[in-house]
Structure 1
Amino acid sequence: MGHDQEKEETPPATPVTVASSAVKDQEEEAWNHQKRTLVAELSQKLITGDLQAKIEAARDVRKVVMKSSGKTRSKFAAAGVIPPLVSMLSGPNLDARQASLLALLNLAVRNERNKVNIVTAGAVPPLVELLKLQNNGLRELATAAMLTLSAAAPNKSAIASSGAAPFLVQILSSGSVQGKVDAVNALHNLSTCKENSVPILDAKAVSPLINLLKECKKYSKFAEKTTALLESLSKSEEGRVAITETDGGILTLVETVEDGSLLSTQHAVGALLSLCESCREKYRDLILNEGAIPGLLRLTVEGTNIARERARTLLDLLRDTPQEKKLAPSVLEKFVYDIALRANGTDKVADTAKKLLKDMVQRSMQLSMNSIQHRAASRTPAETPSA
């Protein structure tokens, strides 16, 4: 019995295990002490050093932050490195600008407080100046900085009102692939700023956005943000004209309705609906000529609630066309059958197709009744037939 009890007891930690744990603790403490010392030294150089010392310190800040945890970013900020780094952004020395910009970018990543503190310290105006430079490297670093800083909600208003947007739009046409992606994401961040009553984009952004949407996968996150910006631009007459005048503008939106993700289809049909609602006579045929009907019919079944309603509304507008442009019943039935097959499979395809056709017929009848009532109400007494 005594032997059994001895076997069940947990063996004590061996001296080697205890020693190994103690060594680890000592090494970690030594490394933390080394980092604290390094943070203090680098912050001191940035605050009091000459220009060359500041450049070297900024480069070292970036290296240390890249290799460390998120706490190190906060420690550097607490040590006061952000204001001198922001000051370096405005100087004439390009090396100083680049070193400070890289350091600030790394301090801002995954740290909301640092993002806000960088903007509060005055980083936005010099970043806008960097966006104007012909130096592509600095210009694209500034674009990445605008993206990172605009991700923090408190920063959006300051950046949106800074005049950065037109220069970000230029990046859409002339930047590298990464620069274009960063510019779209930054502009999307700024477009969600509720405090900014003035639109951040004008019609000049339409053509590069359409071209980027042509080239990307329609179901990608990038397409979602690009179509969101295009939908926003479609709210103005200048934006709508730019969409129609850009080569393949409406076709690209139609293709996105057909092939996009739930969100990009919602934005794309929203842009097409804005066009048609603003002037059916002007835009209806342009949309019909790009073959929009199949994608819109599919969207009435497969889209988000918002996309479904938009698609139905747009179909109602497109349906009000001369007789020769209406879909033949057999063609319409085939479209509806294909949609039902995709949505529910072969088991329920007949029921789904019937319901969809019934819904479309009911909506068409309701529209016709509304039109008759409207015409009747608008007649003068003299025009009303006598009994």
Structure 2
Amino acid sequence: MGREEETPPPPATPMTVASSATKDQEEVAWNHLVVELSEKLIAGDLQAKIEAARDIRKVVRKSSGSGRTRSKFAAAGVIPPLVSMLRCPNLDARQASLLALLNLAVRNERNKINIVTAGAVPPLVELLKLQNNGVSELATAAILTLSAAAPNKSAIASSGAAPFLVQILSSGSVQGKVDAVTVLHNLSTCNENSNSVRILNAKAVSPLINLLKECKKYSKFAEKATALLEILSKSEEGRVAIIDTDGGILTLVEIVEDGSLLSTQHAVGALLSVCESCREKYREHILKEGAIPGLLRLTVEGTNIARERARSLLDLLRDTPQEKKSAAPSEKIVYDIAIRVNGTDNVADTAKRLLEDMVQRSMELSMNSIQHSHRAASRAPAEVQSA
């Protein structure tokens, strides 16, 4: 058989030729604008630089191909002068460059890395210190975006930003608090930072617990906040702060009952860490908040890690924790708890009621989980939007 001839392209029409020419003209005009703004930013006076930074932000936001536009501006050399403007005494210049950099970094991994390499982190930390909530929270949003790139985490973690992010947890706007939690969570996963507790201090405990009281217990935000509390529970100062914070233990117990699989794993980890540190001191605190039903459910429905932690904590909460937990199945644990609740007289009835409550609670949570999963599946996750 001979080689088949290729199908010739359709003949050009005046309309397609005009459309192609228009696109070429738009591309040339767009490239010219990128070069013009870049030169103005690099060589202009301070006011010209401020105007150029503002225009760069506008161009990126309005561009239909914003990904290409971000790359073109970076290739034109705008990142170093924008980072230099972050150090300028003029607040307008710092804010204009901050917004431009934030928009250049969103959804562009290379730009995120180049911005940090150009030295953006120290001046961003200085902006976190300002008594200007608008600017400090923009700096938080920028650090959040930059911390999403794995190569940047170590530099940000060692920059001294964490204490100021903890301050925002207490006094910032709702969005500022959410961003601060996400940054701290990003930094806690830094592979080079083997001791994440160094990033945080016990001052973060109270605002984190207050945020958990207000948020949906199965949300992604709750997962990040409980992960941070688990880290904090590994230090004595953190454990004391959890106990001393109004509703601290109760909030963790509520997460164990109503949280997502990941949230419950972190919450039971924090409770276990507290109880293991001094069983005699903290056992009653956990028991009086009604932790048993949620922990029993976790031994059946939790992740593998959560199941093991729940069993360990239940063993510590029993009156005779000396027995090995491998020898104490859920039924035995329920029986022991029933003795503690009502004594030996009605132990069978109490144990039965506890198991029935656990099953009923399990069914309700399973239904809620299914409903939440359906709702979550209908919503695509969104990255930080351009400011």
Q: Same fold (TM over 0.5)?
A: yes
After superposition, where does 1:1-387 map in structure 2 within 5 Å?
18-68=13-63, 69=65, 70-198=67-195, 199-320=198-319, 325=340, 328-340=347-359
Output the amino acid matched with 2:104.
L
CA contact (8 A) 1:301 1:339 kept: no
CA contact (8 A) 1:301 1:343 kept: no
Output the amino acid matched with 2:203.
K
Could you tell me how far apart the structure 1 residues matched to 2:360 and 2:17 are? 66
Report how far residue 341 of structure 1 moved: 5.3
Please list the CA deviations of residues 208-255 of structure 1 after superposition, one character each: whole Å capped at 9, or x if unmatched: 111111111100111000000000000011100000000000000001
Could you tell me how far apart the structure 1 residues matched to 2:213 and 2:320 are? 29
CA contact (8 A) 1:319 1:326 kept: no
**Partner of 1:306: helix, strand, or coil?**
helix
Please list the CA deviations of residues 337-386 of structure 1 after superposition, one character each: whole Å capped at 9, or x if unmatched: 344456579xxxxxxxxxxxxxxxxxxxxxxxxxxxxxxxxxxxxxxxxx
Output the amino acid matched with 1:337.
E
Summarize the Cα distance change of 1:197–1:300 in structure 2 as closer, same or farther, 3 Å threshold: closer
Could you tell me how far apart the structure 2 residues matched to 1:335 and 1:21 are? 75
CA contact (8 A) 2:293 2:357 kept: no
Please list the CA deviations of residues 9-68 of structure 1 after superposition, one character each: whole Å capped at 9, or x if unmatched: x9x9698xx333322222221111111111111111111100010000001110111122
**Partner of 1:219: helix, strand, or coil?**
coil
**Partner of 2:160: helix, strand, or coil?**
coil
Give the unaligned 5+ runs of structure 2: 1-6, 322-335, 365-387
Could you tell me how far apart the structure 1 residues matched to 2:351 and 2:230 are? 28
TM normalised by structure 2 equals 0.82
Q: Share of identical aligned residues, percent?
A: 78
Could you tell me how far apart the structure 2 residues matched to 1:343 and 1:219 are? 15
Please report the RMSD computed on the Cα atoms of aligned residues, expressed in angstroms. Answer: 2.0
Could you tell me how far apart the structure 2 residues matched to 1:158 and 1:267 are? 26
Output the amino acid matched with 2:173.
S
CA contact (8 A) 2:253 2:289 kept: yes
Larger Rg: 1
Output the amino acid matched with 1:332.
A
- Aligned pairs, number: 333
Summarize the Cα distance change of 1:280–1:32 in structure 2 as closer, same or farther, 3 Å threshold: same
Give the unaligned 5+ runs of structure 1: 1-9, 346-387
**Partner of 2:191: helix, strand, or coil?**
coil
TM normalised by structure 1 equals 0.82
CA contact (8 A) 2:296 2:310 kept: yes
Report how far residue 332 of structure 1 moved: 2.8
CA contact (8 A) 1:297 1:335 kept: no
**Partner of 1:133: helix, strand, or coil?**
coil
Q: Which has the higher contact order (CA 8 A, sep 6+)?
A: 2
